[in-house]
Amino acid sequence: MMALAALAIGLVSGAGALGNGLVLAGAGLGKLRHRALLSGVVGNYRLLPDALVGPVALTLPWVELGLGAALVAVPFTGGVWTQVAGAAGAGLLLVFALAMGINLARGRGAIDCGCGRSELRQPLSRALVARNLVLAAPLLLVAAGGARVPLQGFDLVSLVVGGVAIALSYHLFNALVALRASPLAATLLPARRQG
């Protein structure tokens, strides 16, 4: 029974690490493509002194890319670095959730979260805060050493499929949240209520 529990924790934490790694690497690449806008997005949160906005905007994409690569490697490697990657990834997601939560509490939900594609602007919402908390959970398992079970065969395939499913679910969730806040949704929702 303990072996089954260890396997389940290994699969969940490994899939979570792989999925989050893909998400963070994609986010880092997206921020690099739109780096001219990133200082404005970081500055809109109004949490950092002006002198730090530029350096944070400059380094954030590289941090996301590095963490993404480290998290993708977690299921296939071992040792203390997997725990460090899990803790760092969870920490980054929790900092993002905290930044969004603070701005929501300030009544600043209209600002763009900076976590999606530029053509799908996403105002801050409790759903985005919850999304980051859910994404951080398996990384906390990794940080606690949960990804140490050596996986092979079908278990490894299950882990990869789970990780890809997490990454795809993230993108689907972001698109739905962004579309819900779009002007198009505002024109469609009243018509749907009447019919």
Q: What is the pLDDT of residues 103-149, one digit of tens each?
A: 999 999 999 888 765 555 788 999 999 999 999 999 999 999 876 65
Q: Write down the pLDDT at residue 165.
A: 94
Where does the pLDDT of residue 17 fall: very low under 50, low under 70, confident under 90, or very high at 90 and above? very high
Of the candidates 41, 54, 58, the residue with the CA atom closest to the CA atom of residue 103: 41
Say yes or no to pLDDT of 192 above 50. Answer: no
Beta-carbon contacts of residue 27 (< 8 Å; ≥ 6 apart):
61, 64, 68, 115
Q: Write down the pLDDT at residue 117.
A: 59
> Averaging pLDDT over each range in 3-7, 98-102, 110-114, 151-155, which range is the top one?
98-102
∠ CA(13), CA(14), CA(15), 5° rounding?
Answer: 95
140-162 as b/e, with b when 16 or more CB fall inside 10 Å?
A: bbbbeebbbbebeeeeeeebbeb
d(CA 27, CA 193): 35
Give the pLDDT mean for 93-104. 97
117 φψ region: left (φ > 0), alpha (ψ -120 to 50), beta (else):
beta
**Across the chain, what does the average pLDDT equal?**
87
Where does the pLDDT of residue 95 fall: very low under 50, low under 70, confident under 90, or very high at 90 and above? very high
pTM attached to this predicted model = 0.86
pLDDT digits (tens, 9 = 90+) for 38-74: 999 999 999 999 999 999 999 999 999 999 999 999 8
Say yes or no to pLDDT of 190 above 70. Answer: no
Strand partners, 123: 112
